Amino acid sequence: MDFKEKCYKLVKKIPKGKITTYKEIAEALGTKGYRAVGNALHNNPNLVVIPCHRVVKSNGEVGGYVEGIERKIELLKKEGIPIKNNRIINFEKYFFRLNKKFK
């Protein structure tokens, strides 16, 4: 399984109504390659099956999305995640921790 596939497998674990971060995914994969995670998600082959809109920046900002930030915000709000000024409100409440050192 290559790096992208590992990223996609982790993203599939994020429940509806929760978010995680690029950093959390990278750390679960045993790397500091946060940008590599972002690049992998930018090349997501199936946005429905691999819900990469649930991955945000560590500072609570929504971050980029292949279909645009407005679409990402729309999807997150539909899942009940409150957003103001492109930031997740009550970030910790919605944060989904991944198991460290995913294999």
User: Are 25 and 96 a contacting pair, CB within 8 Å?
Assistant: no
Per-domain boundaries in the chain: 3-94
Query: Is residue 7 annotated as a catalytic residue, yes or no?
Result: no
Q: What is the pLDDT of residue 77?
A: 98
pLDDT digits (tens, 9 = 90+) for 22-43: 999 999 999 989 999 999 999 9
CATH node for 3-94: 1.10.10.10
Q: What is the pLDDT of residue 83?
A: 98
Q: Find the helix packing angle between 34-42 and 3-11, rounded to 10°.
A: 80
* Candidates 7, 14, 26, 52; catalytic one: 52
For the purposes of burial, counting CB atoms within 10 Å of the CB of 73, is it exposed (0-12), middle (13-18) or buried (19 or more)? middle
Within a 10 A sphere around the Cβ of 93, how many other Cβ atoms?
11
Length of the chain in residues, anyone? Answer: 103
Residue 91 CB-half CA count within 13 A: 14
**Residue 63 above 90 pLDDT?**
yes
* pTM reported for the whole predicted model: 0.93
**Residue 102 above 70 pLDDT?**
no
